[in-house]
Amino acid sequence: MLAWLSHCDDLTDKKVCAYTNMDKPRVSRAVQALVERGLVTRTPSARDQRVHELHLTRDGAELLSRLIPEAQDWEAELVATLNAGEYRDLLNAMGKLERQLERIG
């Protein structure tokens, strides 16, 4: 969720659900935990008071700046065993699964 917040200017709980295929209760719990840790702010939208906008705090951005390189290193180590063709096939298979998730929702 922190990564999504770093890339989207107008992220809401509803958009997180759509982007991640997570259900609303799970997203709500995750947002609440991030707010309690001071990593995210959740404020009513100026356009629609029923909607809450999510934003990274300075602490959230700092944590993310440390996590991204660690995640990239972990991913590189994980896929190092694959040759280029196997890696391409993996990405294609993951893309198919994501499209199927969108269809079956």
pLDDT digits (tens, 9 = 90+) for 24-72: 999 999 999 999 999 999 998 888 888 899 999 999 999 999 999 999 9
Task: Return the beta strands (E) in 21-60 as ranges.
Answer: 40-44, 52-56
Rg of the chain, C-alpha, whole Å: 17
CATH class of 2-104: mainly alpha
**pTM, whole model, 2 decimals?**
0.73
Predicted pLDDT at 8: 82
The CA-atom distances, in angstroms, between 87 and each of 19, 72, 74, 91, 92 are 24, 15, 15, 6, 9
